[in-house]
A and B are shown apart, each in its own frame.
Chain A
Amino acid sequence: MAAHLSYGRVNLNILREAARKELREFLDKCAGSKAIVWDEYLTGPFGLIAQYSLLKEHEVEKMFTLKGGRLPPADVKNIIFFVRPRLELMDIIAENVFSEDKMHSRDFHILFVPRRSMLCEQRLKEQGVLGSFTNIDEYILDLIPYDGDLLSMESESAFRECYLENDQTSLYHTAKGLMTLQALYGTIPQIYGKGECARHVANMMLRMKREFAGSQNQILPVFDTLLLLDRNVDLLTPLATQLTYEGLIDEIYGITNASETFFDNLTVEQEFMTGVDTDKVNTYIEDCIAQKDPLIKILRLVCMQSVCNNGLKQKVLDYYKREILQTYGYEHMLTLNNLEKTGLLKPQTSSRNNYPTIRKTLKLWMEDANEQNPNDISYVYSGYAPLSIRLTQVLARPGWRSIEEVLKMLPGPHFEERQQLPAGLHKKRQQGENRTTLVFFLGGVTYAEIAALRFLSQMEDSGMEYIIATTKLINGTSWIKSLMDRPESQTP
């Protein structure tokens, strides 16, 4: 039992236990002594589910990292590959299988995480090794519990797929993950959402529920509300430098820049956020380009300016683009196009800039933010309240009806759905008992937003507790990187 997962209102250990049970079952299916060959990317998420002791209980004697060539020797009956469904990994597995010593061959199995793929199996067939596997299974690990109030799918490509490629596969898996969650924690009676993707996920959830119409979920609901939020409802927050402890660590780990440039950067960010000079070429950005600062830093800043100005004047945009391409290389044209497609760096259309109105109505900029004794979520960005969190806050009290006009200015539909609960399961709230909301960020969430939600949970009179879920934990850098068409080429 992981203590850190059960301190909150929602005991995420249940989720973890369900995941462990499935893992145990698969391991037992491959009877006898075994060695696991790991796709490195999976060791992190798995570490949150099971320790080596559990694996040992099921006769796992050795563990190796997946790489080409021949498998290391191990006196075990079974070799199990734990891999993501990626084609290039199939080639490595094929290599491993071919190099196996025929005299002392072991049984091969594959566990695809989080799900199997026809394409991968076809690749294995093309390589001529598909028949060598005794068990091929999938381990559906959609939502991984990171903390007592935090779940992530760690789907690094979700934002790109949804907003750049219009590919909703990850939304389908999100819906599936939510169905699993409901199976364990009860049907969520109220669903609110803002954004196109949110709408799709809700629709899928409702359809999936109808498909299981026969069986009613008798579990007393733990969650009162589900809030689905598209990342593109608030593109600004991930671009800003985070100032909470965890956020800072996440941001600047590995950066050797002096504190002077760090504060210069913050100043410019704050200017943009408060609407200062967002319609001109910014000299600080110009200077940074001239100094050939890391490209991602430049991209974050120009995107921020664009978002705060509802798009840049054509002349300004062309100027930045030219400077960037001339300084960092023409191939970055591809990345700039991607950023435009997702709305992060785009030319101004005729529509007016609504950002100042949104900022004022939702009180996003709190001048007297007190970081030592914060009384408002704006402390996480030194005076700027993340739009996504403000929306969440207002939903709880006084409700979204009061901000209809502002909601209309933000992209995508907003909606409310109710799911029927079986008779007798409606919660009778005790005096002073908190309600629980699951906030699901479609496209990524930052540590600063997490901190802000935790802050809200802890506030005396909030009456609300928040559990956070997302497709991926992100920071501005990792986020922009996922949109670059050739990340390795942006060596500073």
Chain B
Amino acid sequence: MMKSKADEEDYWNSSKFKAFTFDDEDDEFTRLKESKQAVNSIRSLVEEEDDEDDVEKVSWSGEPIGSKAKAGGFQSFSESLSDSSVRHYAPELRKPKSEYKDYISDWSPEETVQRMQQGKVLIYLKKSLSKEVLFRELESRQTALRHFIHYLTETKEQRLLMELFRALGRTEDMALLQYKEHLSITDENKRRDFLKSCISLPFSPEDAVHVQDHFTLLERQIIIEATDGQAESGGKVEIFQKFPRRASILNMPLITTLYYCCFYHYSETEGTYSSPANIRQTFRIAEKQFFVTALAARAKLKAWLDVDSLFSSRNWLGFSRRKSPLSFHRVVDVLQKNNAPVQVLQQYVGLVDDAELKISLAQKHKCHDIVINTYRDLKDRQLLLGYRGKVGRGSAEERKIDELLSNSQIRWKN
């Protein structure tokens, strides 16, 4: 859920390090003096490389630890701290913007890298400037910006990172980052609601459709899961008794969901959420993809009649013609993986166009009739003779071969 502006302000106002904006009217004299000193010491912090050690030893509250503290600035900080408030550790609020700019633009790229990577300046800046100012400054400094993004990513400051993206006009990045959050929501109802809230984000047109689909899918899965869970435990629905469900359908990919519905809800009409036809239509599933999924599910159930009807289509003449969006070679593959009996396999091997492929598939799956018929059609006596050894002794196939071989009407080519 997106935080409201008020929440954001609360966050900033409640953080340990008070933020100042350049418009801040709160102008106590003492704070001004301390801030001036702060600015001076910041300058040296930023410009002098060889004072690393000194800087290192100062704690985040401004108090020096151990060895020598920096002359001037920090000493007066710790002395003037009335409470433990660290809000004095901030840059000058009255200083014009141009002076602030000087701190960073003086740095060469590798100095920036050095300092940014060590995180010192970033943490400092982040805690001491209002984010509007910070974002604005960063926008014009590509290197610093990249490092800030890296820093926020590492510390997992998701909200701030998203605000930054939004401020920079990187709306798609922001949308994707927001969407990514769904992965950490385990409760399916909460996740569904979250996905719904993502739909209105500024995705690219293609991505927007995917996010919408993602939401719709989960919404359906929740309904199906509830219904089927009940049906299964009720003990009265046969298919669930014969084939108990091995896993929940929640958060499964679309095609897996389709397979599930082709398995458990095949005969349902388009009216239900779980009907394969409805899913196909709602999610605009390609014909090939639908076909191979339905084929696999029905084959698993050994529903050969269903498999058969996948292929029949009636044209306006009333004839049925075998057509398949999938090559018959692949069809045989799927059927074989689901342990289809030879008679079924044979049917489809016979429909393979390519003769060589047909023969090799037939041999592989022991579809003897097809091999025999093909060799007969090729009038190849040698091959037929060779194949005789591969069929069962005294089998019908053997007799068939013998009949053909002794058929004098066939003009064998060899």
Contact = CB atoms under 8 A, between A and B. Distances in A.
B110 A204 contact: yes
Given A119-B119, A286-B288, A172 B110 contact: yes
Given A119-B151, A168-B113, A330-B213, A486 B285 contact: no
Contacts of A331: 182-183, 214
A318 B252 CA distance: 21
Contacts of A321: 206
A323 B119 contact: no
B201 interface: no
Given A165-B146, A326-B289, A172 B253 contact: no
B255 A326 contact: yes
Contacts of A105: none
A292 B252 CA distance: 13
Contact of A87 (B155, B179, B252): B155
B166 interface: no
A169 interface: yes
B180 A165 contact: no
A370 interface: no
Contacts of B207: 333, 337
Contacts of A87: 154-155
Contact of A323 (B108, B110, B179, B289): B289
A38 interface: no
A333 B179 contact: yes
Interface string A114-147: 0001110010010000000000000000000000
A334 B176 contact: yes
Interface in B52-96: 60
Contacts of A329: 251-253
A207 B210 CA distance: 47
B210 A489 contact: no
A18 interface: no
Nearest to B217: A330
A347 to B, nearest CB: 10
Contacts of A118: 118-120, 123
Interface size class of A (residues with CB under 8 A): 35 or more
Nearest to B155: A119
B211 interface: yes
A415 interface: no
A287 interface: yes
> Per DSSP, are chain A's interface residues mostly helix, strand or loop, or mixed?
helix
A325 B123 CA distance: 39
Contacts of B254: 325-327, 330
Contacts of A327: 253-255, 289
Q: Which size class do B's interface residues fall under?
A: 35 or more
B110 to A, nearest CB: 5
A165 B210 contact: no
B114 interface: yes
B33 interface: no
Contact of B110 (A119, A208, A485): A208
Contacts of B123: 118-119, 122
B80 to A, nearest CB: 23
Contacts of A337: 176, 207
A167 B154 contact: no
Contacts, number: 97
A346 to B, nearest CB: 13
A334 B151 contact: no
Nearest to A324: B253
B146 A326 contact: no
A331 B211 CA distance: 9
Contact of A117 (B113, B118, B149, B330): B118
Interface in B327-369: 330
B231 to A, nearest CB: 26
Nearest to B292: A290
B117 interface: yes
Nearest to B206: A318
Interface in B185-225: 206-207, 210-211, 213-214, 217
Contact of B288 (A172, A203, A290): A290
Contacts of A400: none
A254 B69 CA distance: 58
Given A204-B110, A333-B179, A486-B183, A167 B150 contact: yes
A334 to B, nearest CB: 6
B154 A119 contact: yes
A373 interface: no
Nearest to A173: B117
B249 to A, nearest CB: 13
A199 to B, nearest CB: 12
Nearest to A125: B60
A257 interface: no
B300 interface: no
Interface in B143-199: 143, 146-147, 149-151, 153-155, 176, 179-180, 182-183
**Which of A321, A322, A328 has the most chain B CB atoms inside 10 A of its CB?**
A322
Contacts of A204: 109-110
B146 A167 contact: yes
Interface in A146-167: 161, 165-167
A166 B155 contact: no
Given A119-B151, A168-B146, A326-B253, A287 B330 contact: yes
A169 B108 contact: no
Given A117-B118, A327-B254, A166 B110 contact: no
Query: Chain B CB within 10 Å — which of A166, A168, A287 has the most?
Result: A168
B233 to A, nearest CB: 28
Contacts of A122: 60, 119, 123
Given A118-B119, A122-B123, A165-B150, A326 B114 contact: no
Contacts of B60: 122, 125
Contacts of A292: 255
Contacts of B154: 87, 119
Given A168-B113, A286-B288, A207 B108 contact: yes
B103 interface: no
Contacts of B305: none
Contacts of A330: 210-211, 213-214, 217, 253-254
- In the A-B complex, list the 3 residue pairs whose CB atoms are closest, starting with the nearest: A118-B119, A330-B214, A329-B253
19 contacts: A87-B155, A117-B119, A165-B150, A168-B113, A172-B117, A175-B110, A208-B110, A290-B288, A318-B206, A323-B289, A326-B253, A327-B254, A327-B289, A330-B213, A330-B253, A331-B182, A334-B180, A485-B180, A489-B183
Interface of A: 87, 117-119, 122, 125, 161, 165-169, 172, 175, 203-204, 207-208, 286-287, 290, 292, 318, 321-323, 325-331, 333-334, 337, 485-486, 489
Given A327-B255, A327-B289, 5 more contacts: A161-B150, A325-B213, A325-B254, A329-B253, A330-B214
